[in-house]
Every structure is written in C-alpha cells, then in structure tokens.
Amino acid sequence: MASVSLINVTKKYGRIPAVSQLNLEVKATEFFVIFGPAGAGKTSTLKMIAGLEEVTEGEISIGDTRVRARASDEIDVAMIFETYALYPHFTVFENMAFPLKSKYRKLDSAEIRSRVEDVSRSLEIEGFLQRYPAELSGGQKQRVSLGRALVRKPRVFLMDEPLSHLDAKLRHQMRRELKKLRNKLQTSVIFVTHDYMEALSLADRIAVLDKGRLRQVGTPDEIYLAPEDVFVASLFGQPRINLVEGLVLNQNDRLFFSTTDGAIVFPIPAGLRECLERSNLEKITAGIRPTSIQIIREQSPAAVRVWSFLSEDTGSKHLYYMRIGETSLTGITESGGIMEKPEKLFISVETEKVLYFDHAGKRIREG
Amino acid sequence: MPIKNSFSRRAVPYFFVLPALFLTIGILYPFILSLYYSLTDYRLGSAAIEFIGFKNYLVIFSSASFWRSLGLTAGYTAASLVLQIGLGLAGALLLNNDVKGIQVARSLIILPLMMPPVVAALMWKVIMAPNGVLNYLTGLVQFSWLGTNTAALPSLLIIDTWIYTPFVTVILLAGLRSLPQEPYEAAVLDGGSPWFIFRTLTLPLLKPFIFITALFRTIDSLKTFDIIYATTKGGPGSSTMLLQVKAYFESFRHYSMGSALSMMMVLWLVIFVMSRVLVGFWARSSRQALGR
Amino acid sequence: MKNRPRQNAKDTRKKVLIYSGIVLFLIFALFPIFWIFLMSLKTDKEIIASIPKFFFRPTLENYEAILFGLKAAGTETSRPDFILYFKNSLIITSGAVIVSLLVGVPAAYALARFKFKFKEDIAFTFLSFRFAPEIAVIIPIFVIYRSLGLYNTYIGMILVYQLITLPLIVWIMRGYFEDIPDSIEQAARLDGYSWFSIFRKISLPLVKPGLASTAILSFIFAWNNFIFGLVLGAKETFPVTVGTLGFISYESVLWGQMAAASMVTILPEIIIAFFIQKYLVRGLSLGAVRG
Amino acid sequence: MRERGLEKADMAEIRLEQVRKDYYSRKKKIEAVKGIDLCCRDGEFMVFLGPSGCGKTTTMRMIAGLEPITAGSIFVDGKKVNDLAAGERNVALAFENYALYPPLTTRENIAFPLKAKKLSRKVIESRLKEVASLLGLEEVLDRNPGRLGGGQQQMVSLARCLIRDAAVYLMDEPLSHLDSDQRFQVRMRLKTLHQKTRRTIIYVTHDQQEALALADRIAVMNDGRLQQLDTPENIYSRPRNFFVADFIGEPPMNFIAGSLFHEGNGFRFQSEDKSLSLPVRAHSLSLPQEATDGESVILGVRPEDISPVLSSSEHSVEVVVEVYESLGEEGILEVRCGRNVLVILSKPRLSLRNGQRLTVSINPHKLVLFNPQTEERL
C-alpha cells in the first residue's frame, strides 16, 4: 500500500512527446484509472511508473522512494500486462512462484506453496497449477497473470488493459469480478484502459489522457456528468453524445438554445445564464446524450418533429437514427418497438441533462 | 551510491557484448592490416616493408589481366544471378503446390546446399571429365568441359547453379509460404486470371525475398573461390581466373601480397557498393509489399 | 485456392505438369550426389571405363581404404590420413562453434534487447565479416600467425573460423531473442530479477530450439569451409575439405577413394540438416527471412 | 455489363440443404458443420451468429466456394453450385482479415474486381466514388493499405465487396476491427444501404448486438448446428433453447435451477435452495402444458426484467447487493439471493452499498423456462 505521485512527467521518444507535463497524485489504496483513446500515452505512463521506461523529464515516486529508470527489480510493484506476459516455459505454479523466489523476497518453499495455493483457490485456477500457459484459454491466462501479481502483496498494482483481449461476455464478467476483488484488496491500483465502461465501473478516480496530456481527473460521476470539454464528453457513453451546434436566443428574458436552422429549440437552465451573458457567447454547442432523448408518438408542446430514417433493436434497447433539418441525432429508448421503414416521430429532450460547450469545446458551467 | 548504481545499470548491455567485442577487435585488426599492406610493397619472405602509397593500385589498374579478371567476375556474378533466381523461382513455384509427397521433395532439395562447395565441385569435375557420365548422357565424345577455353566458365556456372539454386528455392519457397492466403482467395472470388494474380499480387509480394537472395548470391558469387580452386584453378589459360582466385595465386604463388591485397580492396569495395544497392532495393520492395 | 471444389481434366493435367516439373528439378539436384555415391562403390577400373556403368557389383574397398588405410586392389597408395582430417574438422568446427556460442549469444541478446551507443555499428561490424573477401583477411592473418606461432594449430584455426561462425550466430540469435515479447522480460524485471538472471532463467530457455539449430547450421558452414584450412593449415590441421582435394594430385587421381571421402564428408551434414529444416531458411538468410 | 450504381442487380436466393463439413487435423476428423438447412430469401439481410468455432465462417466459405462441401447441396437462385469454382459463383466476400492486396493502393484495391472483369473506366470510377463516399474512404484512396489503420483497412475490404455486382454479398465480421464509434456509423450505413437496395446479404458475426441491430433474420449457430433461425425479436424474447438464451443479450440472461409446483391455474417456481419463489402463470413466455409436481426446470429472466422496488409483492424477492456498477447510461447490479447470483440492469447512479439488502421485482411476463435435460424452452 503506497501512494504514487507524478510531478511534471514528460516522456519523449526521439523528439515526439508521448506524455507531456503530467501531474498525478494516486492516494494509497485508491483504484485509479488512466483512460484515453489509443496513442494517449497511457501505457507509457504506466511503464514509467514501473521503471520500465525512462522518464525524460520530471519525477515519479512511490511512497517516499523515487522511481529510477532501469531499477524495476527493486521497486516492488506488480504489473499485469495486456498480453499477460506469462513465462511460456514455466507451469502455472512456477509462474506464480517466480516472483517469490527473487532475491528481494526469497521465501521458503513451504511459504511459496501456501501463498500460491491460497491465491489460486481464490481465483479458481487451482486445477491448472501443473499446466503450461499454452494449454490455457485466454480467460485462464488472465487469471494466472492476476495471480502472479497477487501472490506478491506488492505496494502498488499496475494493470495495463488486462481485460482487453477477452471476448465481450467474459470481459464484462471479469470486470465485475475485479470490482469484487478490489473491495477486498487494500492496495493502490493503477489501471489503464480505453474501455469507458471499465473506467466508470472500477475507478475511484479517473484521469482522462489525450495525446499525452491530462484532460480531466475526477470521480466517475464527475467525469460523466460534468466533463470538462467536448473531448471527455464524447469518450464516455455509447453511442456517443450528440453534439449539436446552435445559437443562444433570448426570448422574454429566458434563454433558449436553438439550432442554426431553428429546427430544435429548447430552454437553457437558468443557472447557466450568468456565465453565458458574462462571456457574451452566441454560438454554442449542445451535448445531448442519446439517453436524454425521449421518443414520443404524438404531438405535444415540447415535442420536436423529426425524420427517423433507421431504427435498431438490440434486445434491451432501441436505437433511433434521426434527422431534423441539418442536424443528425441518435436516441436510445428502452422500449418503443421497431420501425419497419423510415417514419416521422416526435422527440423531447431532457433539457436539464444537456451539456453546453463554448467554441473552444470547454463546458460552460454554472456560476 | 545512486550514481554508481546507475552507472552499472547503464553498463549492463556492454557486459553482454564485451567478449564478442574483444574477439571482433581481434578480427578487425587483420582487416586494417590488410588495408595497410595493400599500400606497401610487402612480399612474403622479404623482411623489409616499404610504404609505397597507391602504387599497387596504379599497377593493377593499368594491368589488362586485372580488368579481364574483374570483368569475368562481374559477368560470372550476373549470369549466375539470372540463372539461379530464374530457376530458383521456378522451383519454388513448383514446390509451393500442395500435392502428395511434396514434403519429401522439399527436404531433398536442400541436399546440395548442405555440401561443402569444394566437394560438390569435385563431384562435378568427375562428372564433367572427358570420360565422365555427362559426356555419356549428352552424347559428346571426350569433350573436356572444364578444360576447354570457351566451355570452362559456363561449366563452372553450371556447377555454381547446381550448388546454389536450392538456396534460392528454399528462401523463395519460404517467401511464398509466408504470403497471406486471404488476398488470393479474394482475388479468385473477384475473378482474376492466374496470370493477372501472379503479376499484380505474387510478384510484388515476393520481391523482398528475391532481393534478399540476390544480395546473398551476389556477395558470394563475387567471392567465388572454392569451386574454381577444386576444378580449373583459373584455367585453362586465364579463362576462369576470377578475382579471388587471381589474388590467391598472386599472393601464395608469386608472394606479392601488396598487389594481391590491393585487388581485394577493390573487390571489397565492389561488394560493399553492390550490397548497398541491393539492400536499398530490398528495403523499398519490402515497404511496397507491406503496402506502405 | 488449395482445394477447389471442381475436379476435372484440367486439374489432372495441371497435376501431371507439376509432378513432372518436380521430378525434373529433383533429378537435377540429386543426380550428381547419386552418381558419386555409385562411384564410391566402384573399383577404379570400373570408374574409368569409357562407358559409365550404372549396374555393377558394389564394393566397399574405397571406404576401407580411406578409413583403415588398407591397400585396395588397383590402387597405388592408400590414404589413411583421411581419418586425421576428419578428426581435425571435428575439433576445429566444434571448437569454433563453442567459442562463437559463448561469445556471440550474449552479444546477440544485448543487440536484441538493449538500446546503447554504437549498437548498430557493432552489429554491422559482425555482419561485415560475411561481406569481406576471404583472401583480404587471410593474408595478414597468415603473417600474424606465422609470427605468433598459430600457423597450423587448432587454436589458430578455431580463431580464424570465428569469421564464419560468429556473424552467423550473432545475427540469427539476435532475431530469435527479438521474437521474445518484451513484456515477458519486463514482467521478470518487475518480479525482482536482474538482467543476468533473466537472461539465464527466461530468455535462454525460450530460444533453446533456435539456439540448437543455429549451432548446427554454423557447424555446417564451418565444416564446409575450405580456404582457411588451405592457407593457414598444414597436414596436421587440414580439414576434410582440403583433405578430400588431396585425392587429386599431380601423380594420380584416386577417383574411388575421393568419392568415398566425399560421401563420408557430407554424410554427417546431410543427417543433421534434416533436423534443422524448419529453421534452415532463417539461418541461411542470417535472420532476414523468418521462415 | 450494364452501367449502374450500387442498386441491386441479380435475384438471389441462397438455399443450404444438409450441408456438412468435415476436415482432418492431425489425422483426427473434425466435424465443423454438422448438417445445416436454411434458406436466405432474395433481398434478405441474414446474420450467422455464434461463438468462435461454431461453424459460421466455414458455412459462409462453403457458400463462397472457398471450402469444398463434404456433403449436402448449396443452391444460388435455385441452381446447384456445389461444382462451381469460387470465381464462377458470382458472390462477393468481405474478409475479416481484410485480405487486401498490399502492393496496390486503396483505389486499386477497391477497383480490382471490376478491373478483373474488364469494366470500362467510367463505370469503375463512378461506382468507386459511390462506395468510397458511403464508407468515408475518399481521403485515403491513394494510400496503400499498410498505411491505413485496422478499421480503415476493414472499410476498404468492405468497399471492395460492395462495389461488385454480385448475386449475394457475404461479410465475415466486417466491423470487428473498427472502434466503437465507427462501428455504430458503419452499421447504420450498411443497414440503410440494405433498406434502399435490398441486396441479399449474409453476414457473419459473434457480436449479438450487431446481429440484433442488423438482421432481418438471425441464424444462431453453435457446435456446427443451427440452433434457431428467426427474427431478432423472437430470438431475443423467445429463445428456442438454453444456448440461444444465454448467448443473446448483454449482460446475459440469469438462470436459476429449481422446480415447478402446481398452484391455481398455473405453477409456482421454487429455486433449489428455496430462496426464491415465483408464480408462473399464463402470461409468462413459456408455460408447460403439463408438469408433475416437483419437476425440475431452469428459470431464465433477462437482467432488464428485474428491477429494484420499494415494497414487496408476489413477484418480488429479497436480495443482497454484491457489486454495483454505475456505467453512465445504465447501472449493472449483481445481487445474491440464497445461492443464486442475479445480474440486474438498472438505472445508473443508485446509491447502493455492498451487502445492502434490497427488494427486487421480476417481470412475470418475461419469465422463460427450460428443460434442464434437453435444454429446450418449454
């Protein structure tokens, strides 16, 4: 159990920066997720913490010891690799025992046996201890690599997209298992992923990275409900948030959002008024999550008439692809039946859930 | 402490290469020495060595026999390259068919390749002897394949081709087997004719392999020595006197080491330039084959 | 592509063509070896017969002559020296391979795994041995060996054979080490092991098959070498390649014994070559083609 | 060849009759496809859905002519094609691993099938434009495939398939390498294109969401056999057997082993450990005609058909929270009820603690029962 801090960390490969000026503070026992699309610098960051990659500038410390490059053997962190990185010529037992035999631990063989057996029981791999990695399925390999980290009781766990190579079903199931395990584990975990569901589900806090730069750090709710900018907003949620460009209208002393062609108009919450007026914004972007769009069958005052050209039924949800004037929208409902062919529908927008962004993509906040 | 520690960590790679590096320097020393000797009048047996600058080079450059030898070497290399790549590609395409018993054929084809070239050359010397089986099979009477001025070099080419075509075949076959299957399935579904597919797909994809074999074959052909020493020793006359053979006789028969070494420096340069060119082709064709 | 559904006359014709092509190719590749094999079982009289004989009564006397030095009928001298040459070849070749392995495998590992200064220069230096004309190096080595007393010694031969085996082992093994995923070694680092123990416990065991085949291939290449023995050795250290050539001298040509010697020379190579077939392509191309 | 764009060309109905495929691996016979009968109607969008190794790709490759058929027949538009070579069947195929021609540019790749058929340059150019804009490939036409990302390469492969004038379009996991945004986009365009042109499409995937969203009908396959062939709606709510029920839906359906007892004009289901007891009436999705008291069954209920409630009722059970995930759009709740674990799809951002007691109600209209021996739905 130890905190991890990154101060002004920069990593360059040649001249290209993979991570720039990164500052992070991971508290002891925190489950910290580093999230971002491919090329965001997530894995580089993780490898620098592990001492596997040299820090170009800045400083990383675990607890009160500074991480030095190339000293990975000394720093007592355990890492779970995306590709599992099991030793192919060792059995499962030998794989899990390997870290315990190093010169920094050197446990006696009875202790090693008992630790490996304990962990393998809790991960339900005790039946495979004598097998070789090549004889295991993807899910089993994943558990073994988890086990190899758990036997050590390290100060920090580093996990590099550990679930990304599992098929969808197993991935969702393992995610929940990891969450259960996490509740028992009193150790800090730094978990890298590009799957927003993993980030939201597992994290105490999430750091969103983009091209090596930190975009936002916050709890899952903060990130989802109050994203700093368009980038963060569009990374969370599937299908992704609808971004609609439009204008701020002032009618009868109330502010309205209107698309440029006037096809959709809805009120802007009063709380945003001050900020909008202060910055004198005219053109703004509304971010409407597909779940905030209600499909209604008949006309009502708040309803907007749309042309829905396609709907998809994915079992528990129905997706509607719509067009209103020049704007395209995607909506999700939990029920509503499927259209056989394109038809006209009415929608209403849950206006209190709409996010607003300025021309630079920053979210407009209250006050 | 941290400083020392960090130093020893940085030094790890050098610990691994160090023994090899020593050995390399040991080997490198003669290389440098050979460059130096080529600038001297060094003769085996004579004690005094005098530095004479580029005189050796001037002498060989004005010698007709050197140019002839260089020309023979170049011609021999070009001819062997064309023959072996052509035959080797044909062989590879043949062996790439998944018919019954193909595995046996693929194993047998490597036999000539495993043989010492000297021994292979000796075998052919027997076969090509005036009373040998080749004359019997071709119906020629007492024809001396290796002893006739005009036939000697082509005969050597036959031997060379026999020894090294399997090399080309084996590499190109590996190349063919490594090509992705799906584009071919797609092409068949798309209705491309076999020749259209070979031209637009197989050939560009195989090019990197062709260039890599050409690279190795060029280097070795330019250095040909063993099979000539075992058969014609440069003769008859000087009709098969390739550069390395000439340098061998120059040094170990006539003892003029300086002059022999200057020839070798020229050959070395030729090899270096040729390999650079071929590596360039190889790199470009690899990029193309990967679609970059 | 492989199994087209339709089996028809066109396919059969294609098959016939393929088979005849392959047979032709095999005849070209194997006839000389076959012929020399026949020759090694003939008496010299049968060998020089003006019409070559395909059918004859085989005899082992050539083999007896080269291996035991028995005087065979119709030959003037016997060549028991062949045994010595064979032994020389074994000592020199194995010695060269062992030295190259000890020195080259760690170097290959460093070249594959670490980033360090002059790395590619060092790697290229190893490779350049493969490019240099042998005579260019052999002359100064000849001079040095004479003065150091290494001429015509096993040690001298083993050292000069490094020119063949070292680049081969360094370059091919580098490729095998590069094939080990980085993450496995990184995992071992984080598990608390130094580079030296990782090399010993993880990397080396993982490249074992590649290591064995590379050793065998460099053995074959060294075994096949001719010119180093010719120039830097004398009778005491001549390898088989030079020895076999000795059956042809100005006085006489011992065809039968030469054929037998050739067979004995290539036999061990042919046998081991079959075991490393899978790795052959990679070795032949110095790791450039990962067959 | 006629000049036309991407609209539908030929009539095509694909019929498979007892199609089997065996192959040998290390002398061991492997039955990849064990007798499949199905008919893909002209203009239909059919999806082959199943886990890896279920035989869906093999079946598709047999239709294409890339694999010989061990037994059975395949008909295209009533004509038996068993003996036709792949190039003669007039099928287009988008490969999962792209199967692009690396030395050619994107443009040349897409145009390849038309060039091989020697169409005029004008026709090629106009169709190329149409396909490229449909899949958003205009920008990369002059690049080689190696310089494209996996997703783009897959788009090129799809474009090369769609540009053709084929009787049937086969697509092998054509969206598997796209990121999720692109996947939604392309899925939408593909479906729109199909609705417009009514080409016959057979589409292979292991992604049940994709199958539900795209298909007119889904053929669910497992272990070389057809499990169910039906509309997405029926596959989802009326799965024919245990496998289909489990494979479709994310999170997957909850299964509880238990027994049936007569009660009133219906039954009562009781779980093995007696922790869960529910009435099963005529309004459920399955109801056995007759059952002996205590007959063992497996009860299936989808995660979205269970929801936390404030007061208990006939259809509710007491559970203990094990894990709660808030995923933005939705929440997933894993609860324990005796020895059974139930997964519930709920609203996001509930405030729940681990170990908290909770009452959940199970939608009685959506209960499904399976026979534990045959694994068929009752």
For residue A260, what is the domain's CATH number?
2.40.50.140
Is the predicted pLDDT of residue B179 greater than 70, yes or no? Answer: yes
- Asked if residue A210 and residue A299 are part of one domain, the reply reads no
Residue C290, pLDDT score:
72
Domain boundary among D197, D226, D247: D247
Q: Are strands D45-49 and D217-222 parallel, antiparallel or unpaired?
A: parallel
- Evaluate whether residue B14 is within a structural domain: no
Question: Is A72 inside a domain boundary?
Answer: yes
Contact status of A332 with chain D (Cβ, < 8 Å): yes
Would residue D9 count as lying in a domain? no
D273-325 per-position pLDDT tens digit: 888 898 888 777 777 777 778 889 999 999 999 999 988 888 899 999 999 99
Q: What is the mean pLDDT of residues B243-272?
A: 89
Cβ–Cβ gap C184/A99 under 8 Å: no
> D14 to chain B nearest CA, in Å?
17
Q: Is D7 a member of any domain?
A: no
pLDDT at residue B139, rounded to an integer = 82
Structure-block tokens of residue B103: 């595995």
Full-model pTM:
0.87
pLDDT grade for B112, boundaries at 50, 70 and 90: confident
Amino acid C248: pLDDT: 73
What is the rounded average pLDDT of the residues A189-218? 95
User: What is the span of the domain harbouring residue B203?
Assistant: 55-289
A9 plus A38 within the same structural domain: yes
In a domain, B41, yes or no: no
- pLDDT at D10 exceeding the cut of 80: no
The pLDDT, as a whole number, for residue C77 is 52
Q: From B85, B75, B88, select the one nearest B224 (Cα to Cα).
A: B75
Looking at CA atoms only, how far is residue A141 from chain C in angstroms?
13
Which residues does chain D have within 8 Å of residue C5's beta carbon, measured at their own beta carbons? 65, 68-69, 82-85
- How big is the CA angle at B11 (ends B9 and B12), to the nearest 5 degrees? 70
Statement to judge: residues D231 and D202 lie in one domain = yes
Domain that includes residue A184, residue range: 4-226
User: What is the CB neighbour count within 10 angstroms for residue D291?
Assistant: 18
CA atoms A56, A62, A63, A65: torsion sign: negative
Residue with the bigger pLDDT between B86 and C62: it is B86
Which comes out higher in pLDDT, residue A340 or D296? Answer: D296
Domain stop point among D216, D231, D247: D247
Quick check: B193 pLDDT over 80?
Answer: yes
- Token pair 């030079």 is found at C242
Same domain, D137 and D18: yes
Instruction: Confirm whether A236 is domain-assigned.
Output: no
**Residues of A in Cβ contact (< 8 Å) with B10:** 70
Q: How confident is the model at residue B2 (pLDDT cuts 50, 70, 90)?
A: very low
D366 and D268 within one domain: yes
**Domain total in chain D:** 2
Separation CA D10–CA D197 (nearest Å): 11
- What is the count of structural domains for chain A? 2
Please give the C-alpha separations between residue C73 and each of A87, C77, D162, in angstroms, as whole numbers: 63, 10, 81
* Among A201, A226, A251, residue at a domain's last position: A226
State both tokens at C63: 């083999």
For residues D223 and D274, membership in a common domain is answered with no
Averaged confidence pLDDT in chain A: 90
pLDDT at A289: 94
Residue C202 gets which letter from DSSP? I
Q: Which chains touch C (3 or more CB pairs under 8 A)?
A: A, B, D
In a domain, B254, yes or no: yes
Assess if residue B199 is contained within a domain.
yes
Verify that D97 and D164 share a domain, yes or no. Answer: yes
* B108, B244, B261 ranked by CB distance to C30: nearest: B108
Asked if residue A207 and residue A346 are part of one domain, the reply reads: no
Task: Report the domain count for chain B.
Answer: 1
Mean confidence (pLDDT) of chain D: 89
State pLDDT tens for residues D205-242: 999 999 999 999 999 999 999 999 999 999 998 999 99
**D91, D217: one domain:** yes
Backbone φ and ψ for A17, nearest 5 degrees, come out as -80, 130
Instruction: Answer yes or no: do A164 and A53 share one domain.
Output: yes
What range does the domain containing D312 cover? 254-370
- B90 domain-assigned: yes
Chain D environment of B288 (Cβ under 8 Å) = 102-103, 144
Q: Does C269 touch chain B (CB under 8 A)?
A: yes
Sequence-distant (6+) residues with CB within 8 A of C166 are B20, B23, B24, B27, C100, C103, C104, C126, C129
Q: Answer whether residue D377 is part of any domain.
A: no
- Does residue B250 register a pLDDT over 90? no
Question: According to the model, what pLDDT value does residue A60 have?
Answer: 94
Q: With contact defined as beta carbons under 8 Å apart, do D272 and D297 qualify?
A: no
Backbone angles phi and psi of B43, in degrees to 5: -125, 140
Residue A193's pLDDT is: 96
pLDDT bracket for residue B277 (50, 70, 90): very high
Q: Based on the fold, state whether residues A250 and A211 are members of the same structural domain.
A: no
Helix or strand or coil: residue C68? helix
CATH of the domain at B69: 1.10.3720.10
Whether omega for the bond prior to residue A239 falls within 30 degrees of 0, making it cis, is yes
Provide the pLDDT for residue B207: 93
The CATH number covering residue D132 comes to 3.40.50.300
**Domain contains B33:** no
CATH of the domain at D341: 2.40.50.140
Full set of structural domains in chain C with CATH: 9-61 (no CATH), 81-284 (1.10.3720.10)
Determine the length of chain D. Answer: 378
One domain for residues D211 and D305: no
Residue B166 backbone phi and psi in degrees, to 5: -55, -35
Give every residue of chain C whose pLDDT is below 50, as ranges.
1-6, 72-73
Cβ neighbours around B290 below 10 Å, total: 15
State how beta strands A205-210 and A31-35 pair.
parallel
Classify residue D241: in a domain, yes or no: yes
Mean pLDDT across B185-204: 88
Question: Taking 50 as the threshold, does the pLDDT of residue B4 lie above it?
Answer: no
Per CB-CB distance under 8 Å, the chain A contacts of B9 are 69-71
Determine whether A231 is exposed, middle or buried from the number of CB atoms within 10 Å of its CB (0-12, 13-18, 19+). Answer: middle
**Dihedral class, residue D77 (left if φ above 0, else alpha if ψ from -120 to 50, else beta):** left
- Region D261-282 average pLDDT: 87
Q: Examine the pLDDT at A162 and tell me if it is beyond 90.
A: yes
A257 assigned to some structural domain: yes
> Both D167 and D54 in a single domain?
yes
- Residues D286, D203, single domain; the answer is no
Q: Answer whether B9 touches A (CB < 8 Å).
A: yes
B198 in contact with C, Cβ within 8 Å: no
C1, B188 Cβ separation under 8 angstroms = yes
Per-residue pLDDT at C2? 40
- Which residues of chain B are within 8 Å of residue C122 when distances are taken between CB atoms? 17, 21, 24
pLDDT tens, position by position, A32-50 = 999 999 889 999 999 999 9
Residue A116 lies in a domain: yes
Q: Are A152 and C190 in contact (CB under 8 A)?
A: no
Stronger pLDDT, D81 or C43, i.e. the higher one: D81
The average pLDDT across B256-285 equals 90
Which residues of chain A lie closer than 8 angstroms to C194, CB-CB?
Answer: 73
Question: Which has more confidence, A211 or B14?
Answer: A211
Beta carbons within 8 Å of A87's beta carbon, 6+ residues apart: A94, A95, A98, A133, C184, C187, C188, C202
| D192 and D299 part of one domain | no
CA D36 to chain centre: 17
Whether A365 is covered by a domain: the verdict is no
What part of B 159-178 touches C (C-beta under 8 Å)? 162, 165-167, 170-171, 174-175, 177-178
Half-sphere exposure of A307 (CA within 13 A, CB side): 8
Question: What dihedral do alpha carbons A338, A342, A343, A349 form, nearest 10°?
Answer: 70
Residue B167 clears pLDDT 70, i.e. is over it: yes
Tokens 């006939």 label which residue? D314
Q: Is residue A367 part of a domain?
A: no
Could you report the predicted ipTM of this complex, rounded to two decimals?
0.85
D1 within some domain: no
Residue predicted with more confidence, D344 or C235: D344
D258 and D228 both lie in a single domain: no
> A283: which strand partners?
A247
Q: Looking at residue A191, what is its pLDDT?
A: 96
Contact across the interface for A334 and D327, Cβ inside 8 Å: no
With contact defined as 3+ CB pairs under 8 Å, the chains touching D are: A, B, C
Residue D378 within a domain: no
The number of residues in chain B equals 292
Is pLDDT at B5 greater than 70 in this prediction? no
D306 and D354 belong to one structural domain? yes
Q: Of D247, D274, D289, which closes a domain? A: D247
**Quick check: is D107 in a domain?**
yes
